[in-house]
Structure 1
Amino acid sequence: MFIARHRRVITLLATAATAFTLVSGCAKPPREATPTPTVTVPTIAPDPGAVVGPGVSIALPGSLAADFAAARASFRGTAGLTIMPVGGDKMVTFGDWTTGPAWSTMKVPLAVAVLRRGSTYASAASTAITASDNDAADTLWQSLGAGDNAAKAVEEILREGGDPVTTVPPTRTRSDASAFGQADWSLANQVRFAANLPCLPGNERVVGYMGQITPSHRWGLGAFNSADFKGGWGPDTSGKYLVRQFGLIDTPSGRVAVAFAAQPDSGAFNDGMTMLDKLAAVIGKHLTELGGGRCP
């Protein structure tokens, strides 16, 4: 388990089955999101949650579990959060949102797949990641041969990154969205991929792009100065937005991978963005409790 010990071993969560439990081209939001200034995130002394007996979960006041629950209770909508140490094999999960369209987060394995074949499309890869540019991402997709060839190439990167099941549609399932962006990507598989991403050979350039996200997209994980991350957002067929991010942040003991998502009842992009801002603040309060990791 990677939650830090403080005087005695205290576990964050439990389920009945195990002592540990712990989503491309993005559609453009209705208006440019107001950027959240980059700030230094404070830390506090550890005070994790506790588990008493199988299947019984107790979140101690001031713990990450309790603070997530408090934030979640203030939301009108669904939200989920998953955390895993870099190079690790266990994760913690919170919330009631678990899976959905990847949107622009799938541009990360797409860029990796393209740059593995050479640097011809490095500029397009940079723009697709740092500015979430859809035309640049389509250039990357076409460079892989589009259709089945491109889908298979991206899936190979997902498998290499520890995601055993996510599939990428070879063709558009919606006329207004890219094929790869409509891949169903769970938070659990996304955080596994993120935890392995910096450890895979030849991925340094893409991780570097994730550290250069344009200011207008630096909400959520963008509050962490150390973050390498990518966001994704878009409306469902009724026009309601899903907003999600995944990436890597530093803790005193190493790096952790984070994947989270919010789907507000209002369907408004800005409301989803605000929800992720609040969850990032919760994570920031508990950095010293998160056992980070490093590549082998």
Structure 2
Amino acid sequence: MTAAGTGVATAAPPLPLPNVLPSIPGLPGPPPPPVDLGKSFAKLSRSVTKAVPGRLGVAVTPTGSGEPAFFGTVKTARAWSTLKAPVAVAAERAHVKDLQPMETKSIRDSDNASAEAIWDSLGSTRQAIDAVSAVLREGGDSRTQISSELSSPASYPGATQWATTDQSVFAANLPCLNEADHVVQNMSAVGPNQKWGLAKAKKNVQTSVKGGWGPVSENTGKYVVRQLAVVTTPRGTVGVSLVAVPASGSFEDGTAMLTRVGDWVQRNLVNLPAGQCAPPIGG
């Protein structure tokens, strides 16, 4: 029996344990949550196109194998001078006489006269188409059809429609192709007219690029601006295709857009799959 106003003392309920794991010295913490690249790019695109109205397309493919990841709205466009990369590889394989000075100007300076001389060195138009198409196919691009004076309407090969994803697949495999070493080396030392997009590499990143620009179609003087890039990190290599169609149609606006997009790609390399060339068969 207890006196009025008194009671039996009870222990306080235990406090709930915090919903975290204790940190243990020497062991890594939990991995960060995955980044939603689609949402990230959509945010970037809104910012870029608010400053410079237009449309964007980006594709990234890991070297060796894997499906391209596509972001944006520009799924295909004329290749223009980005096509100079596979043309140069075709010429390397054909052992074209005095190729190196022409290739250096074609790739590093995007010189059209040198590129046309390389194209002509591949033989007839049909032979040149076949040689460059073979390079594309070996690089994993199974769809692109080269335009030429044999097409209707007649056009220089740079007017070839090159899908953004197909170009990124080719870029991913370019370093793995026979006779592509000199081409990739030249792409890593481009001149001032191509120092945009992914040309300026961040820390621990190496980039090799080939830019291209020209009219969107026969009916307009407005430009599409493109860049084919091979990006190598400590984790591996990826192929990238960047496309901008500025509303103004100006080269300067297109390059400004692609530089913003290139920065986004480099910031997100840790969130993108990377790969490496398959070992050669035999030995």
Instruction: Tell me if 1:218 matches 2:195.
Output: yes
Q: 2:34 aligns with which of 48, 51, 76?
A: 48
Instruction: Tell me if 1:188 matches 2:174.
Output: no
Instruction: Tell me if 1:150 matches 2:128.
Output: yes
Separation of aligned partners in 1, 2:198 and 2:64: 20
Separation of aligned partners in 2, 1:65 and 1:219: 23
Separation of aligned partners in 1, 2:274 and 2:43: 24
Structural mapping, 1:114-263, within 5 Å: 114-118=91-95, 120=97, 121-171=99-149, 179-224=156-201, 226-236=206-216, 237-263=219-245
Instruction: Tell me if 1:291 matches 2:273.
Output: yes
Residue 53 of structure 1 is matched in structure 2 by none
| Superposition misfits of 4+ residues, deviation over 6 angstroms | 172-175
| Counterpart secondary structure, 2:76 | coil
- What is the Cα deviation at residue 139 of structure 1? 0.3
Q: 1:109 aligns with which of 57, 73, 86?
A: 86
Kindly report the root-mean-square deviation, in angstroms, between the aligned alpha carbons of the 2 structures. Answer: 2.1
Q: 1:78 aligns with which of 55, 58, 79?
A: 55
Separation of aligned partners in 2, 1:82 and 1:279: 11
Separation of aligned partners in 1, 2:150 and 2:54: 28
| Counterpart secondary structure, 1:228 | strand
Larger-Rg structure: 2
| Cα-to-partner distance string for 1:241-289 (whole Å, 9 max, x where unaligned) | 1001011112331111111100011111111111101101111222222
Separation of aligned partners in 2, 1:91 and 1:163: 12
Residue 18 of structure 1 is matched in structure 2 by none
Change (3 A) 1:195 1:180: same
Matched to 2:265, the amino acid is I
Q: Is the 8 A contact 1:150 1:170 kept in 2?
A: no
Separation of aligned partners in 1, 2:145 and 2:164: 14
Matched to 1:253, the amino acid is R
Instruction: Tell me if 1:66 matches 2:52.
Output: no
- What is the Cα deviation at residue 216 of structure 1? 3.2
Separation of aligned partners in 1, 2:152 and 2:261: 30
- What is the Cα deviation at residue 47 of structure 1? 4.9
| Counterpart secondary structure, 2:198 | helix
| Cα-to-partner distance string for 1:41-75 (whole Å, 9 max, x where unaligned) | xxxxx6533xxxxxxxxx4xxxx333311121131
| Cα-to-partner distance string for 1:217-238 (whole Å, 9 max, x where unaligned) | 1100112161111010012331
Separation of aligned partners in 2, 1:160 and 1:70: 36
Identity across the alignment (%): 38
Change (3 A) 1:90 1:118: same
- What is the Cα deviation at residue 110 of structure 1? 0.3
Q: TM-score under structure 1 normalisation? A: 0.76
Change (3 A) 1:240 1:180: same
Q: Which runs of 5+ in 1 are unaligned?
A: 1-5, 9-45, 50-58
Separation of aligned partners in 2, 1:178 and 1:141: 14
Separation of aligned partners in 2, 1:162 and 1:291: 17
Q: Is the 8 A contact 1:251 1:291 kept in 2?
A: no
Q: Which runs of 5+ in 2 are unaligned?
A: 1-28, 279-283
Greater CA drift, 92-101 or 65-74: 65-74
Matched to 1:227, the amino acid is T
Separation of aligned partners in 1, 2:109 and 2:196: 13
Separation of aligned partners in 2, 1:235 and 1:294: 35
Change (3 A) 1:70 1:111: same
Residue 257 of structure 2 is matched in structure 1 by 275
Separation of aligned partners in 2, 1:112 and 1:249: 18
